[in-house]
Amino acid sequence: MRLFTALLLLGFTLSAQAAIQTREIPYQASDGTQMVGYLAYDDARSGARPGVLVVHEFWGLNDYAKRRARDLAALGYSAMAIDMYGGGKVGHHPDEARGFMQEALKNAHSAKARFQAAFELLKQQPQTDPTKIAAIGYCFGGRVVLDMARQGMPLAGVAAFHAPLGTATPAQPGGVKAKVLVEHGGADKLVPAEAVTAFKEEMDKAGVDYKFVVQAGAKHSFTNPEADEVHKGHGLDVGYDKNADEKSWADLQAFFKEIFG
């Protein structure tokens, strides 16, 4: 009985110790912008593992982006939710967030510098295998990761969820190193059908290895359980879709198995 009790207590202790670890890490982009990263990993796993950068929605580095980093850590990845606005800024009204987004995207070189700084930071973490790095993004973040692929960043893959698909830096033949996954809502009125057609034509012309998945009936922001509440009263046609969220997350896991082996 005493042995059983001791083993039981040991099991509880190990379980408590084997938790998802998180910490904020300050860093600086080459353009001088002060950033903050949110790193998450499972300390029950030993050794380096593939790394995943998580790029936030247009709201900024909020709890949703951080939660996705923890979700990825639970799957066995070294994940870091990154800061594209500087100082960890988060918008509290769509107009404020839109201003942050426009500022971050107005200069393609600056946006790449901010992403590159986070990329290098994640590679330096002892939990990360620096030869296996991917990036995912939501809404604005989806556009960011697609643009980083378009600009030839050495990523194993990028996955974009309910992302704007237009760009100022279209993909060129032979220039995209990453495999690409796009998860798009079939009822997303913020991304017109013409943009979907143009994106596919761009990817095909550039010879990109990509997969475009349409989640039937899903609106913009379909992965975020807080989408309806956060956007209430702002006139944006968005909404959470549990089925589409779960399907797209399963697609992401299959995609990672493909690119990381």
User: CA–CA separation, 255 vs 261, rounded Å?
Assistant: 10
Give me the residue label for tokens 């998945």.
213
Residue 11 lies in a domain: no
Answer whether residue 17 shows pLDDT above 70: no
Domain count, the chain: 1
How far lies 170's CA from each of 137, 139, 143, 166, 250, in Å? Answer: 18, 18, 12, 8, 28
pLDDT tens track for 157-175: 999 999 999 999 999 999 9
What's the pLDDT score for residue 235? 62
Residue 232 lies in a domain: yes
CATH code of the domain in which 151 resides: 3.40.50.1820
Mean pLDDT (the chain) is 91
Residues 56, 84: contact at Cβ < 8 Å?
yes
What's the pLDDT score for residue 4? 44
Instruction: Supply 163's token pair.
Output: 């992302």
Residue 4 lies in a domain: no
Which domain covers residue 125, as residue numbers? 20-260
Residue 14 lies in a domain: no
Q: How far is CA 176 from the centre of its chain?
A: 18
Residues 164, 141: contact at Cβ < 8 Å?
no
Residue 172 lies in a domain: yes
Q: Can you name the residues that pair with 36 across neighbouring β-strands?
A: 26
Give me the residue label for tokens 């704007």.
164
Residue 252 lies in a domain: yes
Name the more confident of 170 and 16. Answer: 170
Residue 128 lies in a domain: yes
What's the pLDDT score for residue 2? 53
Answer whether residue 232 shows pLDDT above 70: no
pLDDT tens track for 117-139: 999 999 999 999 999 999 999 99
Name the more confident of 48 and 5. Answer: 48
pLDDT-derived band at 10 (thresholds 50, 70, 90) equals very low
What's the pLDDT score for residue 18? 57
What's the pLDDT score for residue 229? 73
Give the pLDDT mean for 45-73: 96
Residue 60 lies in a domain: yes
Answer whether residue 7 shows pLDDT above 50: no
pLDDT tens track for 74-105: 999 999 999 999 999 998 888 898 888 888 88
